[in-house]
Structure 1
Amino acid sequence: MKRITFIFCIICSIFSFSQTKKNDSIQKLLEKEIREVEIKANKKLVEIKGDRLVFNVGNSIAATGGDAMDALKVTPGISVQHDKISMIGKNAVLVMIDDRFIQFSGDELMIFLKTITSDDIKSIEVITNPPVKYDASGSSGIVNIKLRKAKKNSIRGNLKTVYTQATYPLGNLGGGLNYQKGKLTLVSNINYSNGSIAPYQEYSIYYPRYIWFETNHKRSFQNNLAARVALDYQMNPKTTIGLQYSAAVNQPLRTGRNTSYITNNSGVLDSLIVTPSRLSEENKTHSFNFHTLTKMDTLGTQYSIDVDYFNFKSQLDNHFNTRTHLPNGISVPNRFTAANNLSRQNIDIYSAKIDYEMPLKWFDLAFGGKASFMNNNSTVSYFDTTNETPFIDPSKSNIFNYKEQTQVLYISGNKKISEKWDFQAGLRLESTQTKGYSETLHQTHKNNYIKLFPTIYLTYKANDNSTWALNYNRRVDRPPYRLLNPFRYYSSSYNYSEGNPFLQAFFTDNLDISYTYKDFYSSVYFSYLTHGFDQVTYVSAHTISQVVIPSNFYTQKTIGLLENYVFNKVKWWESNNQMTLSYSETLSEIEKIVPSISHWAFTFNSNNAFILNKGKTFRAELNFNYMSPATARSYKISGFYYIDLGMRLSLFAKKLQIAINALDIFKTDKKTFIQVVNGVRQENYDYRDTQKIRISLTYTFSKPLIEKIQQQSNEEEKNRVK
């Protein structure tokens, strides 16, 4: 905390200097921008449009002057906790930019979103129950970030650098460039990060006759490079074609020391197990998209074609050794093991889809189809290095191939019943064929199924300030490819994870009733999940081994209430407040092994922006987040809270943004995950090194490309002479 206080004092002194007097041209530009803001203010902050909620970013003080992650923090229905995005009532969230999915995830997604300034965002669409146009895979919602259209004949960009100090430093450097001239539009982003964090975990297992207590000190190094470029060309007034390419190279390294204390029920130490490890990875992602859009008439008839290719390659190299000691520190003979665990994975996905929209006399019709082909090859090798001479252990090694093909047809219709009522419904059919083959085990597992996924949306606009909406859809969650491979990955001699080739997809029915009134948004949601799968750490009173295996074993019912209110009645203060109250019940199909659980949960977060000067260029931020004890599938989670502070300064006609944030200032973002298996209680304490200081500088620039305009003007004058 002394370090945090010291840095804050330095930044406060920097922020205290006054800005230089602007020249007349800049002053005129500011007046023009102020007039534009005044016009945009007539638009509501939050709107419901059919199947989605629309958050108009430009109308929020708290969302401006930052990046896309800052804007998502104050978006209704979205939760951002330490750079992790989630949607209330959903297991996961998918992110789109201008209606196209971003193939980044985890750190790469966060890094990419930080290169998009919030001033370049027009709106954020929150799609809790996605329509049939989108893939039915994943019991997740969709966030669609709509960017402002590039100004004609202009170039605009930004450069950003971020320094983060937690236990160790982490640096980030990146930027974006938008170019528009004539029929050509180019959008690009690139970002690089390097540094490390120090997460800490404790793992307790309460066996009948003894207690296993484990500490895990880690240092996780990051070395990430991510880039994206999108190119669109307007061939004629009706047809636009485009290309999009994104890539990421991630080379994380994790070193750790796992120490297990075995004690009897009286607390007397029986033995000590120490496992140092070094895990290095290299992950490469390439994603390519070709798209075309043709508008056939002025009524809205159009069709679009998308062709995609995605490739993911990963290499993992894990070195570890395990040594057992007596309470006096003497090593136990013949209890030393060492190993080198290697993994290789290569995933190729090809897909193509067509979407057609046709406004008819009585309703608007949309239909389309998609085909995708996936091939996943993975190899795992286990080398025993106990005697220093490595030899491969065939029983712990595996070669696995997984293929998946999906064919899709969908149709939907939208009918504006009256000025107040709007109805939309759709049906999606997906046919899926899977084949998993273990070359090592000589086993083949096939699956073939056809499923229907309906959607219904009903919207009632009572008046300009009040809107009701009812949404329903059905989704499918398919297992991640890595969970289907029946290999064993060892973290120590007593702990390993194992894939399950018999793992099946699960299905979720979602119902949502929402209401908006001015700056108030409310939603009641319900979900019913059948045959769900989760990672289970299997332990037993008769063995000290801990085996993590994914299994289909539960049904889950969840009902919840979400309330979001934006207080902006005071010119110098905007407060975005969100509260949820939910009840979740997980019914286990293997009750004797993993018992059923249920729990009420309450969350509250408040994001506050305070304007500190008349020019609105200097502001402070105060954010509070709280979550009560809750459940997550088959686990119980302890409650936690944390507080973030920040300040932001805009200079040089808002071209330069300087920000400092103190995250988790009281070091309270700590969670404990609890699970009972075979009557044995497990507790996993987790702290992600979240107390940190973050300093960022963002510089934006723009320039009109007037050369072409001047040439066109000259040509017009010449023609008049003729």
Structure 2
Amino acid sequence: MLFKKTTFLLLFLVATTSAFSQASLKKVILTGKIIDKETTVPVEFSIITITKSDTKQIVNGGTADADGNFSIELKTSGNYDIKFEFPGYKTQEKLNQTIAEDTNLGNILLETESNQIETVVIRGEKTTVDIKLDKKVYNVGQDLMVKGGTVSDVLDNIPSVAVDVEGNVSLRGNESVRILIDGKPSTAINVADALRMLPADAIDKVEVITNPSARYDAEGGGGIINIILKKGKNKGLNGTIIATAGDPRNNGISANINSKTENYNLFTTISYNDRNNPGITKIDQENLLANTYIEERRNVDRYRKGTNANFGMEIYLNKDKSATWTNSINYRNNGGNTDEDVVFRNFTLNRNFINTRFRDNITDNNSEAIEFTSNFIKKFKKDGHKLTFDASISLNKDDEFSNIFGSILETGMFVSDEKTTKIDRQNRNLFQLDYVLPFGKNMQFEAGYRGSYTNSTSDYEVLEKITQNDPYTNIPGFTNNFEYIENVSAVYTQLGTKFFEKLSVLAGLRLENTNLEINQLLTNDFNTRNYNNLFPSMFITYEFNDDTSFSLNYSKRITRPRDRFINPFSSYTSNINLFEGNPTLNPAFTDAFDIGYLKKWDKLTLSTSAYLNLTSDSFQIVRKERGDLINGIPVIINTPFNLGEDNRYGVEVTANYTLKKWWRLNSNVNYFYNETKGDYQFTDSNNNLVNQNFDFKSSTWSARLTSKITLPYKIDWQTNANYNAGQRTAQGKTKGIAAMNLAFSKDVLKDKGTVAVNVNDVFNSRKRIQDLQLPTVNSYSEMQWRVRAITVSFTYRFNKLKTDRDQKPKMQDQQEGGGEF
């Protein structure tokens, strides 16, 4: 009853009464019943809208009850247009009805959109990749593979995109990729961790833009991935609730709900998850100078509990909805602990056993973020003429506390007792103004401003006990308070035109001013950098016909070092194998060229692309000796530095193929050739100067195939298979990775519910395997961030059919299609 009353109240606000007639005019009551034409089942909570036939002014409205009945009072008799609506049904209208007295309209028969059902199923129910010349749009839809998963799982299903075992995202094999959420940079302190926390059910679609124009942020040498969150647009109160359970532990519940009237749209996404991601690491390392061989084994359990909530309201500021204002608040809170057991079996080089050292690392962490976003869009009378303003203010915090205990297993002898504390804070504000003006017959002018202001601090401390009974003392080499301030202001302009109805040209120029402060507060080491850069872009497209297009694109990009790449203080999970950031890193610049060809047939869409990325000062990870020993073992540092050149040449082919009505395939193949040039020098543990040459050439390829089959009894079967070939690096090689996911689903409860089962990493094979050779150290490693997982989910839709496809949110108009963010 409460649900029905709430629904009726929200939908009643759709209609406003017209001017009252003279008191002497007669009030009338309009009644009837709304039923399904085919099944004669009542269509509960259907929407009724009544307008004056002559003025088209809304005078009243309401909803049917749970039995399909309705009763609506009209202030006066007259001629009216009456409209009956419900998602999944054709709109039924009774035009110019003369209502002079109480009238029963009888049974109103709503007909399902059966003549459109195949198209709707392909776009709304099935996971598809919409291939366009300037981007690929991945519609998450009812993707069976990501039920109960996270954004990382979604990205790992997308052609051209890969997510490695540590959560790092790459595009066409290039990790210099910019992640946007609703067209804005992710506000998370650690983007990889944030993508593993945000539920997949909150995503509507993902845009992959390999060569962005000047209207986009210049950040991201490899391209841009834009994650668009759900904002329901169906009229009335409707939504989806999803519950999941899995092994290893993956329990959660989420809800996407919206309520839309003629004047506003309310939307919310709320989710809770409780997960464990167990992982395994194996490292075999030869230390030639120390005459030791170490077998390092890590077993880790990552327990996380988290809440994500988004509340928003889109207001239509005028009757024609040409002006809209959307405000939303996003909140995220995730906490948990990580239990990591590390075992070091120590041998001499000829494999004589020495001892076994045990290291137990227990970490508690909590992250919290809140963000307010505001978006205003004004569309003018001329088609395409509009003004857009965006603002975003966010606060983030990550707290991490670790206790690390070390001992010799054979004797129980004390080795170490350490504590680490990491307190991260980040504030980010973003303001953007965009203006689009079409003029002439086939010309369009664009201009805009963007200001991004980020202030982050990382207070890191490591304490240790020298002996078991000693108090904790500070380790100066790791403890510091690190501050990073990044202010980027940008203006851009673009001019597009079309010749002969076939040739389109879009030229743009973006100017960015970057002001950086990289400060180590405890050591009073302050660094300030300020630089201006121009980023031109040019896009030429020729349309042979509606189904065949050719494009030639160029843009200049920048990749700024951030997060762990510039913070010199490592995570300290292993005291002999560390990662340290480099605060002196300079940004890398990329000249990106792309030649594309798109061809569509009745059952096949084929996109091919040849690309060239020329990067200067690119980031490369060097694995080196720090120059000291711990228990006779040299400490190995993994740290980034600016390489001279990193050039990539590649070819990519993406295809969507419908073999049968019940069988659809999506496939992607990417091949690239990589050439680097540069040197790196460091001092080893014997105080010798070592020069490493990073000149090398290598090639690799990847392939991905997604098959979706409809089995008898309407059971959907989805298979995702992918292979990332091995690649040679300057210090060794990485081996190929083959993996497969499976999923099945079945609709229940008259298609209002769906039960799905998915198996992630069927063969438990998704591991990063590296074989590295240094002058004094050889290392073989296998890392598996997450073991095979099985997840069961149940989806329930209310007032919303499975084949519903939300209208395109106005808030995203500037990001979809032309991608005008």
Q: Which residue of 1 is the match for residue 655 of structure 2? A: 565
Measure, in 1, the Cα distance between the counterparts of 2:778 and 2:355.
Answer: 21
Q: Which residue of 2 is the match for residue 697 of structure 1? A: 794
Q: Which residue of 2 is the match for residue 6 of structure 1? A: none
1:635–1:290 distance in 2 versus 1, CA, 3 Å:
farther
Paired residues of 2:551 and 2:595 also in contact (CA < 8 A) = yes
Identity %, equivalent residues:
22
Determine which of 643, 651, 657 is the counterpart of 2:740.
643
Amino acid at match of 1:294: K
Q: Which residue of 2 is the match for residue 52 of structure 1? A: 135
Q: Which residue of 2 is the match for residue 423 of structure 1? A: 505
Any stretches of 5+ residues in structure 1 without a counterpart?
1-21, 705-722
Give yes or no for the alignment of 1:191 onto 2:207. no
Deviation at 1:322, TM superposition (A): 2.5
Determine which of 590, 602, 609 is the counterpart of 2:701.
602
Q: Which residue of 2 is the match for residue 13 of structure 1? A: none
Measure, in 2, the Cα distance between the counterparts of 1:611 and 1:360.
Answer: 48
Give yes or no for the alignment of 1:347 onto 2:426. yes
- Structure 1 length as normaliser, TM-score? 0.84
Deviation at 1:644, TM superposition (A): 2.1
Counterparts of 1:424-443 in structure 2, within 5 Å, are: 424-443=506-525
Determine which of 342, 346, 349 is the counterpart of 1:258.
342
Q: Which residue of 2 is the match for residue 305 of structure 1? A: 389
CA deviation digits over 1:309-359, x for unaligned, max 9?
12221111111122346xxx2366xx7221111111111112212111111
Amino acid at match of 1:374: T
Q: Which residue of 2 is the match for residue 367 of structure 1? A: 447
Give yes or no for the alignment of 1:142 onto 2:224. yes
Deviation at 1:179, TM superposition (A): 1.7
Counterparts of 1:644-659 in structure 2, within 5 Å, are: 644-659=741-756
1:38–1:278 distance in 2 versus 1, CA, 3 Å:
closer
| SS of residue in 2 equivalent to 1:284 | strand
Paired residues of 2:131 and 2:607 also in contact (CA < 8 A) = no
Q: Which residue of 2 is the match for residue 708 of structure 1? A: none
Paired residues of 2:628 and 2:635 also in contact (CA < 8 A) = no
| SS of residue in 1 equivalent to 2:712 | coil
Measure, in 1, the Cα distance between the counterparts of 2:502 and 2:145.
Answer: 31
Measure, in 2, the Cα distance between the counterparts of 1:320 and 1:513.
Answer: 52
Measure, in 2, the Cα distance between the counterparts of 1:278 and 1:65.
Answer: 30
CA deviation digits over 1:451-487, x for unaligned, max 9?
1111111112112221212222222111224443343
CA deviation digits over 1:101-120, x for unaligned, max 9?
55464454455452247xxx
Amino acid at match of 1:344: I
Paired residues of 1:375 and 1:403 also in contact (CA < 8 A) = yes
CA deviation digits over 1:116-151, x for unaligned, max 9?
47xxx5x65431112222211122433446689855
Counterparts of 1:253-332 in structure 2, within 5 Å, are: 253-324=337-408, 329-330=410-411
Measure, in 2, the Cα distance between the counterparts of 1:359 and 1:458.
Answer: 18
Deviates more, 1:348-357 or 1:542-551: 542-551
Q: Which residue of 2 is the match for residue 575 of structure 1? A: 665
Determine which of 412, 436, 444 is the counterpart of 1:357.
436
Paired residues of 1:337 and 1:493 also in contact (CA < 8 A) = no
CA deviation digits over 1:206-232, x for unaligned, max 9?
222332221111111111222222321
CA deviation digits over 1:526-581, x for unaligned, max 9?
21222122443322797421233332235211112212222313122112222222
Amino acid at match of 1:337: S
Q: Which residue of 2 is the match for residue 406 of structure 1? A: 488
1:700–1:86 distance in 2 versus 1, CA, 3 Å:
farther
1:98–1:385 distance in 2 versus 1, CA, 3 Å:
closer
Amino acid at match of 2:40: D
Deviation at 1:489, TM superposition (A): 4.0
1:251–1:62 distance in 2 versus 1, CA, 3 Å:
closer
| SS of residue in 1 equivalent to 2:242 | strand
Paired residues of 1:211 and 1:264 also in contact (CA < 8 A) = yes
Measure, in 2, the Cα distance between the counterparts of 1:164 and 1:65.
Answer: 10
- Structure 2 length as normaliser, TM-score? 0.75
Give yes or no for the alignment of 1:87 onto 2:87. no
Q: Which residue of 1 is the match for residue 637 of structure 2? A: 547
1:171–1:131 distance in 2 versus 1, CA, 3 Å:
same
Amino acid at match of 1:162: T
Deviates more, 1:99-108 or 1:300-309: 99-108
Measure, in 2, the Cα distance between the counterparts of 1:499 and 1:364.
Answer: 44
Q: Which residue of 2 is the match for residue 504 of structure 1? A: 586
Give the RMSD, CA atoms, in angstroms.
Answer: 3.4
Paired residues of 1:203 and 1:213 also in contact (CA < 8 A) = yes
Paired residues of 1:46 and 1:516 also in contact (CA < 8 A) = no
| SS of residue in 2 equivalent to 1:251 | strand
Q: Which residue of 1 is the match for residue 310 of structure 2? A: 228
Q: Which residue of 2 is the match for residue 7 of structure 1? A: none
Deviation at 1:629, TM superposition (A): 0.6
Deviates more, 1:146-155 or 1:422-431: 146-155
1:280–1:677 distance in 2 versus 1, CA, 3 Å:
farther
CA deviation digits over 1:9-62, x for unaligned, max 9?
xxxxxxxxxxxxx9434899596233233566999987665633456778x999
Q: Which residue of 2 is the match for residue 613 of structure 1? A: 712
Measure, in 1, the Cα distance between the counterparts of 2:731 and 2:544.
Answer: 42
Determine which of 155, 160, 165 is the counterpart of 1:77.
160
Measure, in 1, the Cα distance between the counterparts of 2:738 and 2:474.
Answer: 47
Give yes or no for the alignment of 1:169 onto 2:249. yes
Q: Which residue of 2 is the match for residue 680 of structure 1? A: 777
Measure, in 1, the Cα distance between the counterparts of 2:341 and 2:230.
Answer: 48
Q: Which residue of 2 is the match for residue 709 of structure 1? A: none
Number of matched residues? 669
Measure, in 2, the Cα distance between the counterparts of 1:42 and 1:176.
Answer: 22
1:78–1:217 distance in 2 versus 1, CA, 3 Å:
closer
Give yes or no for the alignment of 1:444 onto 2:526. yes
Paired residues of 1:385 and 1:391 also in contact (CA < 8 A) = yes
Deviates more, 1:206-215 or 1:403-412: 206-215
1:159–1:380 distance in 2 versus 1, CA, 3 Å:
same
Paired residues of 1:50 and 1:424 also in contact (CA < 8 A) = no
1:468–1:230 distance in 2 versus 1, CA, 3 Å:
farther
Counterparts of 1:456-471 in structure 2, within 5 Å, are: 456-471=538-553
Deviates more, 1:460-469 or 1:395-404: 395-404
Any stretches of 5+ residues in structure 2 without a counterpart?
1-37, 44-87, 91-110, 682-690, 802-821
CA deviation digits over 1:171-225, x for unaligned, max 9?
1211111221122112221221113122000122222233222111111111122
1:698–1:103 distance in 2 versus 1, CA, 3 Å:
farther
Q: Which residue of 1 is the match for residue 615 of structure 2? A: 529
Measure, in 1, the Cα distance between the counterparts of 2:498 and 2:239.
Answer: 41
Paired residues of 1:397 and 1:488 also in contact (CA < 8 A) = no
Amino acid at match of 1:218: V
1:629–1:46 distance in 2 versus 1, CA, 3 Å:
closer
Q: Which residue of 2 is the match for residue 24 of structure 1? A: 40
Deviation at 1:392, TM superposition (A): 3.0
Determine which of 457, 460, 467 is the counterpart of 1:380.
460
| SS of residue in 2 equivalent to 1:593 | strand
Q: Which residue of 2 is the match for residue 586 of structure 1? A: 676
Deviation at 1:663, TM superposition (A): 2.3
1:177–1:140 distance in 2 versus 1, CA, 3 Å:
farther
Deviation at 1:388, TM superposition (A): 4.5
| SS of residue in 2 equivalent to 1:491 | coil
Measure, in 2, the Cα distance between the counterparts of 1:700 and 1:91.
Answer: 38
